[in-house]
Amino acid sequence: MIVLVLASIAISVFAVPGFYTSGAVANPNSPQTCVVHVKIINYAYYPEKVKVAPGCTVTWTNKDISIHTVTSVTKVFHSKIMEPGNTFSYTFNAKGIFGYFCEIHNFMMGEVVVS
Ligand SMILES: [Cu+2]
């Protein structure tokens, strides 16, 4: 009986969503689940700089009241105009430093470091 109770406690602990995943942290051991989120808030990318492992996907979400873009400095990736609430994703397979900006507001800049 005690064993059964302990077993059910253990199952409920491990069944908690997110128990193993930490969301924003890139895990090179499971590239298929590697998604890093960047928010666009108040005319800025947050966080402004993210560091990921090769194979990771970065997803930008426009949480601002204005339209924006995510445009690679070296033309590696380029979102369409993102309305509030829209998302844009790009999977970084190559190592490097990828600067990007907003075509509408040139002062908005961010960076993805793949290493
Ligand atoms: Cu913008």
Sign of CA dihedral 8, 14, 18, 19: positive
Range(s) of the domain holding residue 80: 2-114
Strand partners, 87: 61
- pLDDT score of 66: 98
- pLDDT score of 65: 98
Give me ligand 1 centre to Cα 97, in Å: 21
Give me ligand 1 centre to Cα 115, in Å: 27
Percent share of the chain, pLDDT over 90: 71
- Computed over every residue of the chain, the mean pLDDT equals 82
- For residue 110, is pLDDT > 90? yes
**Would you put residue 43 in left (φ > 0), alpha (ψ -120 to 50) or beta?**
left
Confidence of residue 86 (pLDDT cuts 50, 70, 90): very high
DSSP-assigned states of every residue in 35-91: EEEEEEETTEEESSEEEE-TTEEEEEEE-SSS-B--EETTSS-B---B-TT-EEEEE
The domain that contains 96 carries what CATH number? 2.60.40.420
Give me ligand 1 centre to Cα 67, in Å: 6
Confidence of residue 78 (pLDDT cuts 50, 70, 90): very high
Average pLDDT over every residue of 26-30: 51
Output the pTM of the full model: 0.72
Distance between CA atoms of residues 27 and 33, nearest Å: 8
Query: What SS3 class is residue 30?
Result: coil
- For residue 26, is pLDDT > 60? no
User: Domains in the chain: how many in total?
Assistant: 1
